[in-house]
Structures are given as structure tokens and as C-alpha cells.
Amino acid sequence: MKKFTLDDMPQMSDKVAIVTGANSGLGFYTALGLASADCKVILACRNEHKAKIAIDDIKSRIPDAKLDFIALDLASLESVAGFIKAWQVRKEQKLDILINNAGVMNLPNRTLTKNGFEMQFGTNHLGHFALTIQLLPFLKQAKAPRLIVMSSMAAYYGKIKLDNLNSEKSYSPMKAYSQSKLANLIFALTLAKKEPWLTSLAVHPGIAYTDIQRYNKGIFGIIMRSIPKIVGQSVEDGALPSLYTASSKAVVSGKFYGPEGKGPMSLPNKGSAIEVAIPKHALDDKTAKSLWKLSAKLTNISI
């Protein structure tokens, strides 16, 4: 099939999008792609200095890009609340596209967020859960709102440990990451059911080396840095599933999208953005309901 490229992006001059973690990696190229389609993009980032560097970079390529910055630290529920307050005072509150892209991966030691959650689960899932639920009223103001949740190939072998969500009992960097990415996928699928007015989608970038993998050390780190060059794809191409789902009329709510490859866990995993198989364990209703309930309780946010 023809590979989706930036040339296939429709004009989005009437759209407003938020991209979390937009100052680098996949988030940067997602923001750049949206800006190239004349979409107004809000870079939701923890570091204002890095966000401004990203904005300057995008404007050097697209001088008339419509960009803005709002501070957001997903490891802090207070920062999430501050982001919502900042959005509420904006003249334009309508939100067309929310792309939950930011994340952390494979922290070598169990680290806690400001609210006492394991950092990967707290940042990748709980922070985005709190952000998304509080932005639903603004998404609902748009004609055809979309939520894009960045999951990972790791979701295919992740497990939701309801009695160890925050890794209090035991901690494994990759298991904690995989659990958070599976939680991202389940969250997108659950919202698709709960809110039929919202096109809620999950994506994964295939194998694309980005700064999120900086904690991968030793032989594993060497492999992860080498694989994208051999069987993976560039960071720019890794952002294409996000851009495809943010703009294409062909996507269907409640689905999972990623590079074509030869299958969800086959190599090489690169190519055109297409619908990919959802792992069976992500479709378990009991797990999804329990995860939702616990996420709402931990963040003190629910709908």
C-alpha cells in the first residue's frame, strides 16, 4: 500500500491540537507535521526553555506556524491542574485534537512522581488520564474531536498488575514500562466505548530510536540504538502513525494503529501507518473496568 507521508496531510487551518512532550523526539515531529498542515499546535512540555527551542526550530522551517506553549509536567497532578486552568482562561477553548505523546521509559531504579506514583505508570498513564478527562469538555466543543494515545509495541507483552500498579512489591524497568503502555492502550479503547462522540485511538511508532530510550544501558542499550538503523525507521517516520490518526478520515475509533511491518511483533516494523492487531489482553473488560476505577481513585478524577 502507498505509504502515508506529510504530503497526504489535509489542510487543518481550522484545527487546534495539543501535543504532550512536543519539544523532542516523536512529539517534536508530530508538532512539526501538524504545523505543516496549518494546524494550531500547543506544545505541552515540562521544560519551557526546551519548548521554546522547539518552537524556534519549527518556525525556522515553517515561518507562519501557529504555535504556543503551556507548561505541563505529567509527573505532577498539580501541574496537570495548572495546565487545565491555563486552558480555561484562553480565548479559544475548543480543542480538536489531543495527542498524548509524552513518556518515560526503563528508569533503572524505582522512582516516584510528586504524588507518590511509580514514575513510568504515573507519567505515561495516570498523568495523561487526569489530563484527558479534564479536557473532555473542550474536546466536546469541536465538530470531530480526536484523542491519540501513544502506546508501544511493549503493550503486546505488558501485564496490568492491579495489586502492584506502582511497583511497590517488585520493580522491573521494562515490566513497569510495558504495563504503562498497555494501560495507555486500554485507556484509549475504554474512552472509545464510554464517549462515542470522541474518536479515541491508540498508536505505536514501531521501532524508532528517540531520547526516551536514554536509560537503556549496556548491551540492551546498544541493541536498541542499533535496531532502528537496521530494521526500524527514523524518528520522523515514527511520528507518522500519530499524524495519520490525527488527520485521516479512514481511521475508526477504538482501533490501534502503527507501522505496517510484518505484524505487531515482527521485524522489520516500519512502513505505512495502518490498523494493527490489538493484543487480546487489552480487550479484557474486567481489567479495563478495574484499571479505570483505580486510575480515577488515584488521580481523584472521574467521569
CB distance 178 to 159 below 8 Å: yes
User: How far, in Å, CA of 18 to CA of 121, rounded?
Assistant: 21
User: How far, in Å, CA of 200 to CA of 197, rounded?
Assistant: 9
CB distance 259 to 157 below 8 Å: no
Catalytic site residue 156?
A: no
CB distance 142 to 94 below 8 Å: yes
Please give the grid coordinates belonging to residue 203. 498508536
Q: Give the angle subtended at the CA of 292 by the CAs of 194 and 195, to the nearest 5°.
A: 10
> CA torsion sign, 55 to 58 to 61 to 64?
negative
CB distance 302 to 130 below 8 Å: no
Paired sense of beta strands 97-100 and 16-20, if any:
parallel
Among the listed residues 156, 177, 209, 257, the single catalytic one is 177
User: How far, in Å, CA of 88 to CA of 25, rounded?
Assistant: 28
Rg (CA), the chain: 18
Which strands, in side-by-side order, build the sheet including 97-100? Answer: 67-71, 40-45, 16-20, 97-100, 146-150, 199-203, 256-259, 273-276
Query: Which residues are known catalytic residues?
Result: 177
